[in-house]
Amino acid sequence: MDPKAFLLQKFNVTARQRIDEALHEGIDALKLLLSKGLEVSAKRFNKDQKYKHLRVQTLPVW
């Protein structure tokens, strides 16, 4: 598949739901940040490590 076509294709239902949930969570985090400050917001939204299963691939060292 052409890389441009791949990047511009529509999201499937599962991906769309995940994106919508993440956007809503981000909005809630921003609202809390603006109303209560960084410490309260960080404690609430960083409490669960939802994405700890994702691993960053590193480049090999030569």
pLDDT of residue 1: 77
- Return the sign of the alpha-carbon dihedral for residues 48, 52, 56, 61: positive
Tokens 């960080």 label which residue? 42
Q: Report how far residue 41's alpha carbon sits from residue 61's, in angstroms, rounded to the nearest whole number.
A: 37
For 11-37, what is each residue's pLDDT tens digit? 889 889 988 988 998 999 999 999 999
Model pLDDT, residue 51:
62
Query: Is the per-residue pLDDT at 61 higher than 70?
Result: no
- Across the chain, what does the average pLDDT equal? 82
